[in-house]
Amino acid sequence: MDTETKGNKMDTETKVHKLDTLLHEPAYVPMRKQSSGDLQSRLKTRKLLGVGECEDGSVPLSKISQILGSDDHYIMNMPAGLRLWQVTTAVVFTSVSLLCIFFPVTIFNMLFSSECGNDAVLPLRLFGAAIICLALLFWSSVKSLSRYIIRWTLLAEVLYLSLQVTVIWFTLWDTHHLSFPSLLVLVTMAMAIIISLYFYSILAGITFKTLLRGRALFADFTQHDKCD
């Protein structure tokens, strides 16, 4: 009986000793890495998390978002007047396409200052059908937040207007049908080309220094959609 009592007493003392040891044991404090205070480590962390703002006002997304496949150019500051220019371009292209489809004779007489023959009606209406496709493309980019989509639509507009100005100029020069309305149309197209190139240069980050390096205007043809 005494042996059993002594055994219980020893077990109780052992438990009390373990409990006292646990209560007085210092809590575990995780050690802070020394590298977190280093400048290079902080820069890597900012790049990984996508924190900070670039010189052009755009905010790059994190590397995690790049791995997941999200667009890295959705968060950015659009140039002032870009949306207004996109809407204006879409409205003008839509109006011209509808005029060419429904009033081809009027458009021909205004541009070339000559009578429109029956053979020119069908090509003008086909031209209007092609223009309305470009108008739909421009309308779709009005609400777009992707820099690549907006840049490609601006580049398509510049390319189309440049080719059209060249074709119209040589046609009027060969036929000797230069008139004030036709020259006004050419000047308007040239101004549209300049404005579109202005917005394109801002979105593409093209400056005078990048132009000196070359290949700046053809960056969209040579690079893939990747993070800046």
- pLDDT at residue 47 is higher than 90: no
Section 119-143 average pLDDT: 90
Domain-embedded: residue 196? yes
Number of domains the chain is built from:
1
Gap between the Cα atoms of 142 and 71, Å rounded: 18
List pLDDT tens digits, range 70-82.
444 444 577 888 9
Domain-embedded: residue 77? no
pLDDT, greater one: 71 or 137:
137
User: What is the pTM (predicted TM-score) of this model?
Assistant: 0.60
Domain-embedded: residue 24? no
Section 196-222 average pLDDT: 69
pLDDT, greater one: 15 or 155:
155
Domain-embedded: residue 22? no
| Count of positions (residues) in the chain | 228
Is the separation of the CB atoms in 217 and 207 below 8 Å? no
Gap between the Cα atoms of 211 and 17, Å rounded: 79
Kindly indicate the confidence band of residue 12, based on its pLDDT and cuts at 50, 70 and 90: low
Q: How many CB atoms lie within 10 A of CB 47?
A: 14
Alpha-helical regions (H) of the chain: 2-24, 39-49, 63-68, 82-102, 104-112, 121-140, 147-175, 180-204, 208-213, 219-222
pLDDT, greater one: 60 or 152:
152
> Which residues constitute the domain of residue 87?
82-222
Gap between the Cα atoms of 193 and 79, Å rounded: 17
Token pair of 30, please? Answer: 């995780």
Q: What are the angstrom distances between the C-alpha of 228 and each of 81, 95, 203? A: 24, 37, 12
- pLDDT at residue 195 is higher than 50: yes
Domain-embedded: residue 167? yes
Domain-embedded: residue 169? yes
Average pLDDT, the chain: 73
Domain-embedded: residue 138? yes
Section 135-151 average pLDDT: 88
Q: According to the model, what pLDDT value does residue 88 have?
A: 95
